[in-house]
Amino acid sequence: MAIAAYPNLLAPGRIGAMELRNRMIVTAMGVNFGEDDGGSGERVLHYHEAQARGGVALIISGACGVAYPVGQVQPWQVAISDDRYIPGLRKVVDAVHKHGAKFAVQLHQGGLVAGDDTRAGRPQWCPSVPEPMKGDFVDGFLLPELQAFASAGMPSYKVLTHEDIQVVVGQYAAGARRAKEAGCDGVEIHGGHGYLLSSFLSPKTNTRSDEYGGSTENRSRFLVEVVRAVRAAVGPDFAVWVKLDSREVGKEGGITLEHAKVTARLVEDAGADAITVSSYHDTGQGKLHSASNIPHEPNWNLPAAQAIREVVSIPVIASGRVEPEHADKEIAAGHFDFLAMGRKLLADPELPKKLAEGREDEVRPCVYCYTCVSKIYTLEATCCAVHPELGIEYLRLDPPKPQAAKRVAVIGGGPGGMEAARRLARDGHQVTLFEKSDRLGGTLRFASLAYAANEGLLDWLRARVEESSVQVRLSSEATPAVLAELRIEEVVVATGARRDMPAISGSDLPHVFSGDDMRRMMLGENSESLAGKTSLLTRIATKAGAATGLTANLDFVRKATRTWMPLGDRVVIIGGELVGLELAEFLAERGRSVTVVDDQPRLGAGLTLVRRLRLLTELREHGLGLHAGAKEIRIEAGRVCFTAKDGSAQSVDADHVIVAKGAAGDLSQAEAFRAAGFRVHEVGDCRGVGYIEGAMRSAMEAADAVNAA
C-alpha cells in the first residue's frame, strides 16, 4: 500500500482549530509575485493554487506586510495592511480551498531587514540603533548584483517608543482580522529571521533598558503582546502560531536555544497554537545559508525543533532541508509534528500527492542551486532552475497543446535534451533521442560529480526518459540523412556548448588539461584524446573503468577519486566561473593544493549568488589561492605566471594546469539541420551557456513550440 511508506507524514493533524489532511506544509516564502501595490493578484493565486492541487495540507503565504509599505523587504511583497487587500486574498484562499488545502497568512514587519524602507527614504523600525554590518557578505557579489543590492543606500533608523510598539501590535491584530475576513484558516506571526519582532528578541540588536529589553522575558514582551492582540482579534477558533529562531548562527551575542525555549513557552501561554522552528544567521557572513533559515546542511533545525517541542505542549512545525522519509520517522518519534517545506515544493509542488500515490521516485528534486533565494537578494521574482513553470503558472493556464502527434528528433542527451524529450513524449509525440556518447547525461554528469545535489536531477531525467516512449539511440550521430530516413518533422538541437582552449601561452604543454579532458578522465569517456597527457597506467585505468561501466556510477567515481586521481599535488585552474570553482572544490576535497586564476574582475559567474558566496568562503577556508583580475597569464613547465590585481608578478607552482574556460554557444549543428530543410528548435548551452536553469527553461519553450506548430 502506497500510504504505508509515509504513514506519519500522510496522517491528518491539527493546529488549534485547523484540521489538516496531512503533515506537509508549504513554508512561508516571499517570492516577489505580488502586485505593484502589495495586492495578491493572478500570479500569487495560480502559484498557490498549483501547490494546493499538489496535495499539501496547508500553504503559508510569503511574508505579508502588516504595516506595508513600512517594513517592506521585497519590491513585490504581498501586503495585509489595509482592507483593500482582502478581496484579492479571498480569491487566493478560495482557489486553495477548492483543492482541499488550508491557507494561512504570514504576518510580517521587516524591521532592520526592510531594504524597501531605505530605498524609499523611510527609517527602518527597530528596538535600538544596530551596529553597522560587518563581514565578507558583499565580496562575492558580481557587479550588477552589487548595484541591485546597494541601490537601497545607507539605512536610517526609528527606535520604537512605547506608543510605536502599540501601533505595531495593532497592525498585527488588524492584519490577522483581515486574514480571517478573507477566509484564511490561520496566521503565522513571523517572529524570526532578523525582522522587527526578532530584532527585539535578539540581545544582539535589542540593547534597550526598558521593559522591552534586557531579560528574555522582556525581549519577548513585544511578541507576546502581538500574540495576545492577534488572538483577541480572531477569537479562539482561528489558528494562530509563531515562527521563531531557535538560535542566531555566527552572530555573537545573538539568540540562543535557551532563549528560544523561554520565548516558546511565553508565546504558548499567550495563546499560540503552534511554533515553527527556524534559525537565523549573521547577515554579514558569506556562508549565509549554510546553517541557517534556508540551510544547506540537511536537517539543520531538527535538534532545535525537538528541544523546543520538549518544553511546550503545542505542535511544532519543523523545516530546513528535511527529506520526507526522515521527517516521517521524526514525526513518529515525536520530535516534531509537521514538516514545512520550501525549496522542495518550489521544485515540485506535486510532491505530497506523489508520496501519497507511492510515486515518490517521480518527485522532481531540488538541486540546492539557490536560484530561488538568490533572486530575492537581487530584488527579482523567484524562479526555479528545475521547474521552469514556477511563478508563471498564471501565464500557462492554457499551455500549447499538441496540434498533432509529430515525429521529433532530439539531438543531445544532456539535461536540456532529456527534458525536451520527456516533455514531448508526454505530449504524445514520437520522439527519437540521439546521444553521441554511450550514456545519457551530458554536462550534467560532470556537474553531478562536482556537486552531488545535481545527481538527483540526472537520475530523475534519465528515469523519466527511460520510462517514456522516447526511443534512445546512444553512440549515435544524428545527420540530416538519418533524420530524413526517419521522416522526422521537427528537430530539437541540444548539443551543448563548444569549449575551445582559449589563447593562453603554454596551453599546449603536456601538463595542461582542458575542462573536457578532465571530464573524460574522471568519467571514463573516450580516453583517446588524453593520449600523451596521462600515463599509460592512467589510460588503462580510465579505459577499464569505462569498459566495466564502473564510471557510470558517480558515487563510485566520487569515492575512487579520493584515493586515486591522475593529478599531481599542486593544481592551478585557469577559469573561475562555475565549472572552475566547483572543480577547485572537488580537487581541494581530494587533498590537492589548488589555485584559481582568472582575468575576470570577480569570480563565480554562473553560480547563483547565494551558492557563490558560500563556495567562495569555503574555498578560502580550504586555503585555496583565488586570483580574480589576473593579467598576462602564461603557463610554463611546472608553474603558472601572471600579474595579480595589485600589480605584483606571481608565480604558482603547478604539477598540472586545468583550463576551465572558453565555453560558448555553438549553433553549427542547428544551422546545418536548418539548412537541410528541418524545422529546428535550440535548447540548452548550444544557445550560450545557461547551465541547468537555461537547459530546463529552453526545453519547456521548445516543447511548447513543437506543440504549437
Q: Site residues (CB under 6 A) for ligand FMN?
A: 27-31, 62-63, 106, 190, 193, 243, 278, 293-294, 319-321, 341-344, 372-373, 376, 382
Residue 366 vs 584, nearer CB to ligand FMN: 366
Of 691, 683, 682, 658, nearest to 444 (Cα)? 691
**Residue 279 beta carbon to ligand FMN: minimum distance, rounded to whole angstroms:** 9
Residue 280 vs 513, nearer CB to ligand FMN: 280
**Residue 484 beta carbon to ligand FMN: minimum distance, rounded to whole angstroms:** 47
Give bridge partners of residue 102 from the DSSP assignment. 58
Cell numbers given for 340: 514545512
Residue 141 vs 241, nearer CB to ligand FMN: 241
The b-or-e profile of 422-438 (16+ CB within 10 A means b, else e) is bbbbebebbbbbbbebe
**Residue 387 beta carbon to ligand FMN: minimum distance, rounded to whole angstroms:** 13
Residue 380 vs 636, nearer CB to ligand FMN: 380
DSSP 574-633: E--SHHHHHHHHHHHTTT-EEEEE-SSSSS-TTS-HHHHHHHHHHHHHTT-EEE-S-EEE
**Residue 157 beta carbon to ligand FMN: minimum distance, rounded to whole angstroms:** 22
**Residue 299 beta carbon to ligand FMN: minimum distance, rounded to whole angstroms:** 10
Q: Please identify the residue of the shown chain whose CB is closest to the bound ligand FMN.
A: 342
Residue 32 vs 551, nearer CB to ligand FMN: 32
Helix, strand and coil in the chain, % to nearest 5: 40, 20, 40
CA dist 178 and 488 (Å) reads: 57
CB 696 within 8 A of CB 347: no
CB 280 within 8 A of CB 250: no
The b-or-e profile of 2-37 (16+ CB within 10 A means b, else e) is eeeebebbbeebebbebebbbbbbbbbbbbbbbbee
Which DSSP state fits 505? Answer: B
Residue 375 vs 423, nearer CB to ligand FMN: 375
Residue 18 vs 341, nearer CB to ligand FMN: 341
CA dist 70 and 109 (Å) reads: 8
CB 687 within 8 A of CB 667: yes
Cell numbers given for 6: 509515509
CA dist 47 and 393 (Å) reads: 6
CB 483 within 8 A of CB 467: no
Which DSSP state fits 240? Answer: E
Residue 61 vs 698, nearer CB to ligand FMN: 61
Residue 106 vs 650, nearer CB to ligand FMN: 106
Residue 376 vs 572, nearer CB to ligand FMN: 376
Residues in Cβ contact with 628 at an 8 Å cutoff, skipping those fewer than 6 apart? 576, 598, 600, 601, 602, 603, 645
**Residue 297 beta carbon to ligand FMN: minimum distance, rounded to whole angstroms:** 10
Residue 246 vs 432, nearer CB to ligand FMN: 246
CB 170 within 8 A of CB 229: yes
**Residue 192 beta carbon to ligand FMN: minimum distance, rounded to whole angstroms:** 6
- Return the number of other C-beta atoms located less than 10 Å from residue 643's C-beta: 15
Q: Which amino acid is at 151?
A: S
Residue 626, classified by CB atoms within 10 Å of its CB into exposed (0-12), middle (13-18) or buried (19+), is middle
Q: Nearest 5°: phi and psi at 657?
A: -125, 135
Q: How many helices (H) and strands (E) would you count in the chain?
A: 24, 28
CA dist 366 and 343 (Å) reads: 6
Residue 245 vs 685, nearer CB to ligand FMN: 245
CA dist 57 and 107 (Å) reads: 19
**Residue 315 beta carbon to ligand FMN: minimum distance, rounded to whole angstroms:** 17
**Residue 634 beta carbon to ligand FMN: minimum distance, rounded to whole angstroms:** 43
Residue 102 vs 681, nearer CB to ligand FMN: 102
Residue 173 vs 244, nearer CB to ligand FMN: 244
Would you give the distance in Å from CA 594 to the centre of its chain? Answer: 27
**Residue 482 beta carbon to ligand FMN: minimum distance, rounded to whole angstroms:** 44
Residues in Cβ contact with 142 at an 8 Å cutoff, skipping those fewer than 6 apart? 602, 604, 605, 609
CA dist 277 and 192 (Å) reads: 9
Q: Which amino acid is at 34?
A: G
**Residue 51 beta carbon to ligand FMN: minimum distance, rounded to whole angstroms:** 13
**Residue 298 beta carbon to ligand FMN: minimum distance, rounded to whole angstroms:** 9
CB 416 within 8 A of CB 696: yes
What radius of gyration, in Å, describes the C-alpha atoms of the chain?
27
**Residue 280 beta carbon to ligand FMN: minimum distance, rounded to whole angstroms:** 10
**Residue 453 beta carbon to ligand FMN: minimum distance, rounded to whole angstroms:** 12
Residue 26 vs 95, nearer CB to ligand FMN: 26
**Residue 5 beta carbon to ligand FMN: minimum distance, rounded to whole angstroms:** 20
**Residue 470 beta carbon to ligand FMN: minimum distance, rounded to whole angstroms:** 32
Residue 368 vs 678, nearer CB to ligand FMN: 368
Grid cell 487566493 is found at: 92
Residue 308 vs 373, nearer CB to ligand FMN: 373
Residues in Cβ contact with 555 at an 8 Å cutoff, skipping those fewer than 6 apart? none
**Residue 71 beta carbon to ligand FMN: minimum distance, rounded to whole angstroms:** 12
The CA-to-CA distance between both ends of the chain, in Å, stands at: 43
